[in-house]
Structure 1
Amino acid sequence: MNSVKIEGVSIQWFGNSCFLLEGDGKKIYIDPYQIGAEPTFDDKADILLITHEHFDHCSPADIRKVRRSDTTTLIPESCSLEFRGDARRVAEGDILADGLEIKGIRIEVVPAYNLDKPYHPRGLGVGYIIELGGLRIYHAGDCDFFPEMETFSADIALLPIGGTYTMDEEEAASAVAVISPRFVIPMHYGYSEGMDGDPERFKALVHSKNPDINVIILDS
């Protein structure tokens, strides 16, 4: 299966780090890449979130497929791609709440960076915590297990496990241990060289620390 319904939210995974979240009457796409056929108008994005500018997260062809003229797009300040319409530059620490919600949806912009790898220096990418359908959903973007994660609160965590460019299975399991979500979905593995993370190994590592966390492995 490539989708799951968790309480008030439907989550569909397209592979890599691309997700469609549906809840509260809104459709939120994150990092669209290789989504296949163009969605119908009604299935396009109310909100589009981009974590960073790498081609497999900020694909102009896929962005065009999911955007409507009234789509609100959040992009990191460092992203050079220009957008028409309602596009807003964001940086870690931004909190879109208390009257600044995006179409009624509260979104926190959080760090996303590597600690000892050159691929994602701090300040170039972000993660997002989205409040949707009564749940807090954390999309980590591309990152390692970094100290600020200890302050994050989420019901659902979408975490990279591929290694090389991001956390591997063991690091991601350590991230789960400090975030303590009720559900976790691994992402960013299995689609190219250097992304050899094993979701079943990740699941076993998570359960070795906390067997009550529900690890959901989706097919892209």
Structure 2
Amino acid sequence: MGNITIDNVFIEWLGYAGFMIKADDLVIHIDPYILPDPLPLEDMADIILITHEHEHHCHPDSIRKVRKSNATTLIPENLSLQFRGDARRVIEGDSLTGELTIKDVGVEVVPAYSKESPCHARGEGVGYVVDVGDLRIYHAGDTDLIPEMNGLYADVALLPIGGTFTMNEEQATEATMMLSPKVVIPMHYGADDSLADPKKFRELVNEKAPAVDVVIL
């Protein structure tokens, strides 16, 4: 859909909540769902991060298509699907840094949930903060505006604006104000008849958090 390079880290939005992140020879995919066909070999994943079980985020055919044979996949602990190879079940609060760093990438597993809807109950999904090169990237997963965001730091925030069981444009703007990233990239729109408007989100952030650069991919 679109891409940007920040501090030598390549970030591409593949649609909906899917992103590919590249640094040097390392490739990370988050919630692969919409993929090019054919998928270039250089875009195959060394690390796959799955936020929750819903099909648009945990799509078995896309995961099989994108993963290298030696890829490491992180999945929420209560995911019902079974994965072959190096698949690690994680819960919010896990911090895969230091001795647990995956292929030189530090990963923190953070909360992602809906406060009112059982569709994204707490404990069923997660978000991720990944340290790639000198860049810290937060993928919020499917989440409402939640108080736990107040303790997070990221250079780049990937935030849902869809408004159906996730934040809408106004709530994502509040999240941006809490997080104070250098760059925020909206996601989780453009499918399922979502009426979310990334340009509206950009206008709100420009008004309320003008120091943050909104990049629409």
What is the TM-score with the length of structure 1 in the denominator?
Answer: 0.96
Contact 1:41/1:68 (8 A) holds in 2: no
Task: Show the counterpart of 1:58.
Answer: 58
Aligned to 1:157, what secondary structure does the other structure show? strand
CA offset digits 1:123-152 (Å, max 9, x no partner): 000000000020110000000000000000
CA offset digits 1:27-62 (Å, max 9, x no partner): 000000021314233320010000000000000110
**Runs of 4+ that moved beyond 6 A:** none
Aligned to 1:109, what secondary structure does the other structure show? strand
Task: Show the counterpart of 2:207.
Answer: 208
Q: Report the AA paired with residue 44 of structure 1.
A: M
Contact 1:139/1:157 (8 A) holds in 2: yes
CA–CA distance in structure 1, aligned partners of residues 24 and 76 of structure 2:
25
Q: 1:93 deviation in Å?
A: 0.2
Q: Report the AA paired with residue 207 of structure 1.
A: N
Task: Show the counterpart of 1:189.
Answer: 189
Task: Show the counterpart of 1:92.
Answer: 92
Structure number with higher strand proportion: 2
Query: Are 1:124 and 2:133 counterparts?
Result: no
CA–CA distance in structure 1, aligned partners of residues 178 and 38 of structure 2:
38
Aligned to 2:172, what secondary structure does the other structure show? helix
CA–CA distance in structure 1, aligned partners of residues 200 and 97 of structure 2:
37
CA RMSD of aligned residues (A): 1.0
Matches within 5 A, 1:43-192: 43-192=43-192
CA–CA distance in structure 1, aligned partners of residues 190 and 86 of structure 2:
34
Q: Report the AA paired with residue 110 of structure 2.
A: V
Q: Which runs of 5+ in 1 are unaligned?
A: none
Aligned to 1:128, what secondary structure does the other structure show? strand
Task: Show the counterpart of 1:29.
Answer: 29
Q: 1:69 deviation in Å?
A: 1.0
After alignment, is 34-43 or 118-127 more displaced? 34-43
Report % sequence identity.
Answer: 54
Q: 1:188 deviation in Å?
A: 0.2
After alignment, is 184-193 or 137-146 more displaced? 184-193
CA–CA distance in structure 2, aligned partners of residues 64 and 110 of structure 1:
25
Aligned to 1:212, what secondary structure does the other structure show? coil
CA–CA distance in structure 1, aligned partners of residues 128 and 147 of structure 2:
16
